[in-house]
Amino acid sequence: MAVAVGAMVLIAGDGATIARPMATPPGGMADAGGTPPPVPAAVAAAPVALLVDMSSGRTLYARDADRRFLPASVTKVMTAYTAFDLLSQGRLRADQPIAVSDSAWAAWHAKGSRMFLARGSRPTVDQLLMGIATVSANDGCIVLAEGAAGSVAGWVALMNAEARRLGMTGSHFGTPNGWMDKGNTYYTARDLATLAEAMIARYPQYYHRYIGHKWLTWNGITQPNHDPVIGIVAGADGIKTGFTDEARYTYVGSAERGGRRLVMVLAAVPTAPERARAARALLEWGFDAWNAWPLFAAGDIVGQAEVQQGSAATVGLVAPRPYFLTMAPGEAQPVSLHVIYEGPMRAPITRGAHVADLEIRIGSAAPVRMPLVAASDVARGDAFDRLRAGLTELLR
């Protein structure tokens, strides 16, 4: 089934129907040309740079996005993500105290950025994550690793397992805090953007609790967050900076305006001021130089999918966050939306589970896929439900 809507074609997946989006770009399909204004000159200071529109799946800018680089303290994004995952499973508790071991204190109480944990003290997981996210606490990472996984090596194994699950094929971890380890820890910008997007989308409650604080006071010491965009770029909530002599200055950051969220990665920038200028300029360009047309609001039913052997014959497919169509000024190429899922979809289905994707294709460009989740629980049907479904199928 295909329905023309302005410059869009909406295509239903096998056994699915798709809803009309909120809005479509004006101007028909006459002009396929538009290009955004040039990227600001400040971005040239970053040998590795990537800007992704998380709300549309479109990459707005990329330079050496698949080049491996040393991440320094940006490694702590994976430590935070791993902790968020354990918290969501109940394998960690925010109020769980973890003892600062003698070995962790001896090795890290005076090394690099830290939250000045006292020997033998018992900070909670919540306090450690605040220190890791806000002041890049090397000591906090080690204490969390030991307490949550029994050892640093055990924690690093969890980090690498999470990377594999996320498809981060160009990354590896040898340390929880990014301290120099002879190149055993490395990232690509594309992998780091994938990680940041997963953190924001899967664990928004933890992301908003721990990310974006400007200051931390612990053990009588107040320290600033050195993030270059918090409080400066509208809608920015930061994520993580990094620096070592080997890696130079790295950054992964994010900002949201009007429901539209951008994720940015910079790496190997020579100086901190250059990193700050590049980060601010790239985010502002991402918001200002592109047109964003709202497709679906968070919670909107995007489509319906048929269900076999369930207590209901269909299940709604929901946008878990706002989805936009991002295009350059003057760009009005044909756009297709396609609901895709592995069929037949069988009960039981859990509300909020990722069960389908919305594929967005602009012109001849490679399509991007955005997750769709189940709008409701669908239990496995009883004998009557299955009989009714079979008769319905026969009468089609």
- For residue range 340-349, list pLDDT tens digits in order: 998 778 999 9
- Is residue 356 one of the residues assigned to a domain? yes
pLDDT average, residue stretch 303-328? 93
pLDDT band at 332 (very low <50, low <70, confident <90, very high): confident
For residues 17 and 102, state if they share a domain. no
In terms of residue numbers, what domain contains 18? 2-22+297-394
- Is residue 106 one of the residues assigned to a domain? yes
Torsion 386-391-394-395 (CA) sign: negative
Single-letter residue type at 323 = Y
- Separation CA 69–CA 268 (nearest Å): 8
Average pLDDT, the chain: 90
- Is residue 37 one of the residues assigned to a domain? no
Last residue of a domain, one of 289, 307, 328: 289
- Is residue 30 one of the residues assigned to a domain? no
Q: Which of 223, 207, 181 is nearest to 54 (CA)?
A: 207
Q: Report pLDDT for 29.
A: 34
pLDDT average, residue stretch 49-70? 97
- Two tokens, residue 349: 């289905």
Within 10 angstroms of residue 46's Cβ, the number of other Cβ atoms is 28
Q: Report pLDDT for 138.
A: 98
Triad 290, 296, 299: Cα angle to 5°: 135
Pairing of strands 221-224, 240-244: unpaired
Q: Report pLDDT for 331.
A: 83
pLDDT average, residue stretch 112-118? 97
Q: Report pLDDT for 240.
A: 98
- Separation CA 154–CA 162 (nearest Å): 13
Q: Report pLDDT for 378.
A: 96
Tell me: pLDDT of 370 over 70. Answer: yes
- 396 vs 158, residue with greater confidence: 158
For residues 126 and 163, state if they share a domain. yes
Q: Return the CATH number at 151.
A: 3.40.710.10
Last residue of a domain, one of 251, 272, 289: 289
Query: By mean pLDDT, which of 15-24, 116-125, 132-141, 306-315 is the weakest?
Result: 15-24
Tell me: pLDDT of 57 over 90. Answer: yes
H helices of the chain, where?
76-89, 102-108, 125-135, 138-149, 152-166, 189-202, 204-210, 272-288, 383-394
- Is residue 39 one of the residues assigned to a domain? no
Q: Report pLDDT for 333.
A: 83
- Is residue 32 one of the residues assigned to a domain? no
When divided into structural domains, the chain yields a total of 2
pLDDT average, residue stretch 38-65? 97
The contacts of residue 315 (CB under 8 Å, 6+ apart) are 304, 305, 307, 345, 349, 355, 374, 375, 376, 378
Torsion 203-205-207-210 (CA) sign: negative
pLDDT band at 35 (very low <50, low <70, confident <90, very high): confident
Tens digits of per-residue pLDDT, 225-262? 999 999 999 999 999 999 999 999 999 999 999 999 99
